[in-house]
Chains A and B, each alone.
Chain A
């Protein structure tokens, strides 16, 4: 049971470079999410996707791009990395949209440092 896998787990990049974080889930969940986690802020939603080819902005989308050509994959791209994007990034999935009863399952995280 692979669940959600993220890659790379750890990445150091330079300011201005493009970085892509990969996310793959094996459950065929319709919804996928990208969160960033920073000390004192908890988990903040960057982007989410309701299905293949359907994406929408979350709370902190600036500087990020997502795509979802296949249900199982949801890559997150930092087009021009900045130091403020140093964070831990979590990909997540859920088999439903309604907050009423749908658990969100998280990947193990990608630690990104921008120098």
Chain B
């Protein structure tokens, strides 16, 4: 089942912070985050595993709340280069296979100067 991302779109000014959420109705084993710029391929950001792990990548970090089956992506002090569509992909506990990685419909992030 497709995870639900929120918000669908967000516009912010350079230097502002943003949070993107990814929720599932099923028990998750992992959450993957990707960013896609218009006309380009999705680019890997990070993977979070069951256990509430938090990871960071420069000024982008993410958390995984096992109890809520939710992951949040935090973008701190946004830069113009952060603009793009962010996708989460969820892996279920019921399956150990990458074929069960299901992507959300994306959150379009626009950073204005």
Binding site for B on A (CB under 8 A): 31, 33, 35, 40-45, 48, 56, 58-59, 90, 94, 96-109
Contacts and interface: CB of A to CB of B under 8 A. Distances in A.
Nearest to A39: B105
Interface residues on B, range: 20 to 34
B98 A94 contact: yes
B113 interface: no
Contacts, number: 75
25 contacts: A33-B98, A35-B103, A40-B105, A41-B105, A42-B106, A43-B42, A44-B103, A45-B99, A45-B101, A59-B102, A90-B42, A96-B98, A97-B98, A99-B30, A99-B32, A99-B91, A100-B96, A101-B30, A101-B47, A104-B101, A105-B44, A106-B42, A108-B40, A109-B40, A109-B41
B74 to A, nearest CB: 20
Nearest to B99: A48
Contacts of B60: none
